[in-house]
Amino acid sequence: MLGEDVEAKRKGLIFGAAGKLGTALTRVFAEGWDMLPVDSREVDVTDKGVLRRLLTQLRPEVVFNAKVIGGVDVCEQIPGLAFRINTSLPAHLAELSAELDFALVHFSTDAIFPDCQPGSYHTESSPAVPINAYALSKFGADCLIPAITPKAYVLRLSRQFGERPLPLQFVERMMERALLGAPLLRVADDVVCSPSSSIDVARRVREFVEGAEPFGLYHVANQGQASLHEFMSVAVELLGLATVIQAVPSEVFPGLGRRSSVTPLCSEKIPPLRPWQEALADFCREFKARRSGQA
Ligand X SMILES: NC(=O)c1ccc[n+]([C@@H]2O[C@H](COP(=O)([O-])OP(=O)(O)OC[C@H]3O[C@@H](n4cnc5c(N)ncnc54)[C@H](OP(=O)(O)O)[C@@H]3O)[C@@H](O)[C@H]2O)c1
Query: Which of 28, 35, 51, 66 touches ligand X by CB under 6 A?
Result: 66
Window 33 to 52, contacts with ligand X (CB under 6 A): 40
Q: Does 256 bind ligand X (CB under 6 A)?
A: no
Q: Which pairs with CB-CB distance under 8 Å and at least 24 residues apart come from 181-187? A: 181/243, 182/243, 183/242, 183/243, 183/244, 184/243, 184/244, 184/245, 184/246, 185/232, 185/243, 185/244, 185/245, 185/246, 186/246, 186/248, 186/252, 187/228, 187/229, 187/232, 187/245, 187/246, 187/247, 187/248
User: Within a 10 A sphere around the Cβ of 11, how many other Cβ atoms?
Assistant: 16
> Is the bond preceding 167 in cis, omega lying within 30 degrees of 0?
yes
CB of 29 to ligand X, least distance (A): 15
Q: Does 68 bind ligand X (CB under 6 A)?
A: yes
CB of 51 to ligand X, least distance (A): 13
Q: Does 121 bind ligand X (CB under 6 A)?
A: no
Q: Does 70 bind ligand X (CB under 6 A)?
A: yes
Window 1 to 40, contacts with ligand X (CB under 6 A): 16-22, 40
Query: Which of 29, 55, 122, 159 touches ligand X by CB under 6 A?
Result: 159
Residue nearest to ligand X (CB): 19
Alpha-carbon 220 to chain mean position: 10
Q: Does 93 bind ligand X (CB under 6 A)?
A: no
Positions touching ligand X (CB under 6 A) are 16-22, 40, 66-70, 107, 109, 138, 157-160, 164, 169
